[in-house]
Structure 1
């Protein structure tokens, strides 16, 4: 395994500058000629953290997908929440998704490209999900998928790929992903920071790092589009393509070469973080959202912040939130009651009663799960995941059981925010308004939801600085 160690974040400024305006013009032409719908299957709702004015659907029924295919936008998202599913559940779901996407494509006469959007810190059902999409799509279309493009770069979250090693920015340093807390995830852990070796590790040696195709930062910054397209043209047998990137311009240059390869008949599936979705979708930049755009005038109720994630960053942000310049009421949700018969149900009733009373009186409440991780007497990954989902369902139902409409909702953590959107708020289709802070998306809920046309802030567990959650709350509570 390649030896890795943290490096200074100064390296991010050391790469050759590129005329980005010229790259943008070339990319716009390339995307215009692509003529394919970009369908993003998002394993939790944070994948929309780079886009705006884009639809996200919370089911994958054929009729829903046809709606997405018929939109003017070239891209739409389907929230699968598969990071909260067991292996058996995500297997069934992805086979059904691939079939339904094919049916919707046939019904609308529009071809498509699949992006399996997952965590920028490499957690998730990999290589299972892209492999399932490949197998089913090949069976249905009769066309071979030549390769899988690995693209975990996500600038807003401080995730960079350099010399094929994926890094997580922590302060002034870049830490190899395999050395972070994310790599120790009980359900989705790994040891390799080198993306090729990560693919080899996760595929149990079915794909070898030395056989993979690597797109370097030097090739991207030298605008070697023909060379990159030729590399893509040579990929076969679902070979892995590892793309290095430290800025959006790298994703844009790659996208130009990708469009060229596709125009010449190559077929790929992406396994990516959120950045490449914005680039391939041709989504324009938008200023960060303001209180005026996010809080309904005349609603004198308080807001609610729901904190489910347990990663180190969330806990630090939670502690910082206690320094908010506006008054907040904190209510602990005792997650350990999962170990008691009927314990979670009882806890929900207690928390909802407290929260409702405070919100009605104009107070903003923070409902947080106990910071101590619940320890189960098992090493079974599916059982651990199931307990985690049971706790998340209970926490989510706090929002679902509210009879009073808060003036804003923030959900912190991937599974938590997904469940709030789909189960508690009952959203079928939302529009991504944009971001309240970099990498922190806001949905506008649909007419069908529990609270129609209400901005809903989806705050990933592992994104932002220590102060970002507090700052987001202060924006929403500001004068």
Structure 2
């Protein structure tokens, strides 16, 4: 067992850095030519760490123009999320989608006066996803369209809010409950055994070598450990310390060329802000960087304060909540989700719980079975909240493509239930639990095209999207990752939104 306190004794203390310091540095850089971060989110849960930013589930040039104009008009921070849902796609499909997004974003920016784009490939804090394929495609597309070559790809999987930290180039999961204060290498968790995106090491340089099949050797990876991130810790003035660290980070990145992988240690929000200042300095010096990151990186990079969790009143602000019940849809199968579901069903006794049998979805009478589920959900919503979950028995296969096919079949069924329910009897709110589930429910079940991320429902995690168009306008849509929160979290979020719990 590894104790976090013991590991951290080898490194300096963190430097206190206000979010405003990063925001001011970014504003100074953007004074001549505005710059927007375009975040390609491989599932919608990347938005859980930010607030008041536009999010797109479609990526035509016109969609980007809406987002860029919203940023300019509202004065919100300069970032837009694009829900690619590429974690649910096979590699070829993921590549095509990433290229489409980048080309259309650049085309939209080119139609406006003086707007520069930087790209973020947002993925999982437990290292699952299409890496290095997605950063490779983004870099190649940017080079093809603009001629700009990428010097480095910065990997920042850490998500301290959810207990994922990187120390000494090793990615860990923090323990909870009786194990609080301990660190487990993420390769020793269930996430490393993912049927599609499994991996064998938590040492980030070795992970890069493994996933790139040796194209990037481990010893070619630049590691920004806490000695670099916190290089200015000894300074008497934190502002001076932040500048010392920024210069140290930029110096360490100086050798990056031709998409050199760069791994960053992160334990706290202050570390994210120190890294952001260093990246800003590196880019000021001329480095061209892409980012492959976990959820909180963008918040740090744009200098956004950590938003407090939304209250029940704030969740419905500007809209009149329906008297119908709310719809809670659970698709994820990771252990924490199943525990959260068990707590919710045990505590929310007035809710109707409906299980979708995955084996029946894959059977010959799937359509008739789905009709039955929809009718049951609609009728139950008239009396209160409804919990819809897929059966907890995972149908396993050793074929990644077949695993994705099964996942898509299940997701399509969940989408059909949500969409047909919305058309028949709109719910008071929708909570979608699981990355792919959240994505498909938002984009297809609720037919959201443009939304605003209002903020988190719990501290640092679980985001509320407010749809600004389409049939779900005015219905809070809660994006809830499968692998975040404690056992009580799903019940806590439902209790905030429900009028019967």
TM-score by length of 2: 0.90
Task: Sort the Cα spacing of 1:325 and 1:203 in 2 relative to 1 into closer, same or farther, 3 A.
Answer: same
Deviation at 1:316, TM superposition (A): 1.1
Superposition deviation, residue 338 in structure 1: 3.4
- 1:324 deviates by 1.8
CA contact (8 A) 1:348 1:395 kept: no
Matched, 1:381 2:400: yes
Give distance in 2, aligned partners of 1:412 and 1:11.
35
CA distance in 2, matches of 1:399, 1:28: 39
Distance 1:91 1:186 in 2: 20
Partner in structure 2 of residue 47 of structure 1: 46
Q: Does 1:30 align with 2:49?
A: no
Q: Distance in 2 between matches of 1:218 and 1:195?
A: 17
Which residue of 2 is the match for residue 234 of structure 1? Answer: 255
Aligned: 1:102 with 2:98 = no
1:357 aligns with 2:361: no
Contact 1:148-1:238 at 8 Å conserved across structures: yes
Q: 189, 203, 218: which one pairs with 1:194?
A: 203
Pair 12,274 (structure 1): closer, same or farther in 2 beyond 3 Å: farther
Partner of 1:265: 286
After superposition, residues 22-421 of structure 1 pair within 5 angstroms as: 23-35=18-30, 36-70=35-69, 71-72=71-72, 73-108=77-112, 109-171=114-176, 172=180, 173-223=182-232, 224-295=245-316, 297=320, 299-324=322-347, 327-343=350-366, 345-361=367-383, 363-376=384-397, 379-402=398-421, 403-421=424-442
Q: Deviations over 1:221-279 (max 9, x none)?
A: 23332121111122112111100010011010111111111111110110001111111
Change (3 A) 1:185 1:347: same
Mean Cα displacement is larger for which, 320-329 or 389-398?
320-329
Task: Please state how far the C-alpha of 1:281 moved relative to its aligned partner.
Answer: 2.3
Residue 238 of structure 2 corresponds to none
**What is the RMSD computed on CA atoms of the aligned residues?**
1.8
Query: Aligned partners of 1:61, 1:115: CA distance in 2, in Å?
Result: 18
The count of aligned residue pairs is: 468
SS at match of 2:353: strand
SS of structure 1 residue aligned to 2:346:
coil
TM-superposed CA distance for 1:436, in Å, is: 0.8
Match of residue 468 from structure 2: 446
Name which of structure 1's ranges 302-311 and 281-290 shifts more when overlaid on structure 2. 281-290
Deviation at residue 76 of structure 1 after TM alignment? 0.7
Q: What is the CA-CA distance between 1:131 and the residue it aligns to? A: 0.4
User: Is the contact made by 1:161 and 1:244 (CA closer than 8 Å) also made in structure 2?
Assistant: yes
Counterpart Cα distance in 2 of 1:7 and 1:298: 47
Q: Distance in 2 between matches of 1:428 and 1:68?
A: 11
Deviation at 1:219, TM superposition (A): 2.1
Counterparts of 1:307 and 1:357 in 2: how far apart (Å)? 19
Runs of 5+ in structure 1 lacking a partner?
1-5
Is the partner of 1:191 in helix, strand or coil?
coil
**CA-CA distance at 1:96 after TM superposition:** 1.6
- For the 8 Å contact 2:41–2:83, the answer to whether it is kept is yes
Match of 2:16 in 1: 20
Whole-Å separation in 2 of the counterparts to 1:58 and 1:350: 29
Unaligned runs of 5+ in 2: 233-244
Query: Partners of 2:339 and 2:175 in 1: how far apart?
Result: 13
| Contact preservation (8 Å) 1:324, 1:474 | no
CA drift of 1:410 comes to 0.5
Q: CA deviation at 1:31?
A: 1.0
CA–CA separation in structure 1 for the residues paired with 2:223 and 2:321: 55
Contact 1:147/1:269, CA 8 A, preserved across alignment? yes
TM-score if structure 1 supplies the norm length? 0.94
